[in-house]
Amino acid sequence: MDLRLTGRAALVTGGASGIGRATVDALTAEGVTVTVLDRAAPPADLPPGVRWHTGDVTDEDAVAAAVRLGGPLDIAVGCAGISGPMGKAAADITREEFSRTVEVNLTGQFLLAKHASAAMPDGGSIVFVASDSAFVAAPGMVAYCASKGGVLMLAKALATDLEPQGVRVNCVAPSIVDTPMSRTDLGLAETGFTGLPFPVHQPEDIAAAVCFLASDLARGVNGTAHVMDFGALARSSFPA
C-alpha cells in the first residue's frame, strides 16, 4: 500500500528508543523528513537525514526549538513517555512522582500539539502514543493510567479545536510492546518476552499504525483511538 507520505515533514518525540525509534525508521522509509525531540542523545545508527534536538518534552522552549528545526510540519508523533511509579499503592506514590508522570505523558503531548499545529500551514496529522491504559487499569499503575486517560481526551479536545485548521489528532493505544520500557518494568531486561503466556506487540506494529494515521488515507479518522490490544477490550467478563 502506498501511504503517499513522500516529501512530508514529521516531528517525533521519544525517537531514541522503542516505539519512537521504530516510528522514525518507518516514517523515514516512507520518504518523510524526520526531526526528533528526545532527552537522549541521537543513536549512532540513525537513518541518514534525521534531524535531532536533545531536550525534554516538558520544556516548552525545547519543544518550540524542535518544531523550528523541523518545520513547517505535516506530521507530529508524540512517543516520549515514562512509566512513572510502577507497582506502588496509591498511598505510597509521592506527589512528585504523580506530577512528573502527568507532566511527561500528558503535558508533553499538549506542548507538542500546541507548537506543532502552529507549524502546519497546510493542515496535518498529530498522533499520540497513548496506551490501553487509557481504557483499562492494572494494579500498581495509578499515575500512568491517569496520564494515558488524559492523552485520549486531549486528542478528542484537540481534534475538535483543530478541525477548522485541517489538523487531525488521534491516538494509538497499544497493550504491551516489546521495548526497553516494558522489559524494565516487568523485570525482563535480560530474558525478553519469549515464552510468556500473553501476546506482545513489536514496536514496528505500532509504527505502522502511526504511519497510517499520519497519512491522508486516514483523512476520515479524527479524535479517536486506534486500540491495539489483541481484542482484550472486546471480551466480556463472563467466563465463557
Ligand X SMILES: NC(=O)c1ccc[n+]([C@@H]2O[C@H](COP(=O)([O-])OP(=O)(O)OC[C@H]3O[C@@H](n4cnc5c(N)ncnc54)[C@H](O)[C@@H]3O)[C@@H](O)[C@H]2O)c1
Task: Please state the closest distance from residue 239 (CB atom) to ligand X, in A.
Answer: 27
Instruction: Considering only the stretches 10-18, 25-33, 119-127, 191-199, report the one whose residues sit in contact with ligand X under the rule CB under 6 A.
Output: 10-18
Range 148-156, long-range pairs (CB < 8 A, 24+ positions): 148/105, 148/173, 150/102, 150/105, 150/106, 151/78, 151/105, 151/106, 151/109, 152/225, 154/106, 154/109, 154/110, 154/113, 154/128, 155/126, 155/128, 155/130, 155/223, 155/224, 155/225, 156/223, 156/224
Query: Catalytic one among 144, 178, 206, 209?
Result: 144
Mark residues 61-100: x for contact with ligand X by CB under 6 A, - for none: ------------------xxxx------------------
Within residues 169-188, the interface with ligand X by CB under 6 A covers 174, 176-177, 179-182
To the query of whether residue 144 is one of the catalytic residues in this protein, the response is yes
Q: Which three cell numbers stand for residue 177?
A: 510492546
Mark residues 196-225: x for contact with ligand X by CB under 6 A, - for none: ------------------------------
* Residue with smaller CB distance to ligand X, 187 or 220: 187
38 lines the binding site for ligand X (CB under 6 A): yes
Instruction: Report d(CA 159, CA 107) in Å as an integer.
Output: 16
Task: Please state the closest distance from residue 238 (CB atom) to ligand X, in A.
Answer: 27
* Residue with smaller CB distance to ligand X, 71 or 81: 81
134 lines the binding site for ligand X (CB under 6 A): no
| Spatial contact of 50 and 35, defined as CB atoms under 8 Å apart | yes
Residues 6+ apart with CB under 8 A from 91: none
| Spatial contact of 31 and 7, defined as CB atoms under 8 Å apart | yes
Which chain residues interact with ligand X by CB under 6 A? 13-14, 16-20, 38-40, 56-58, 79-82, 104, 129, 131, 174, 176-177, 179-182
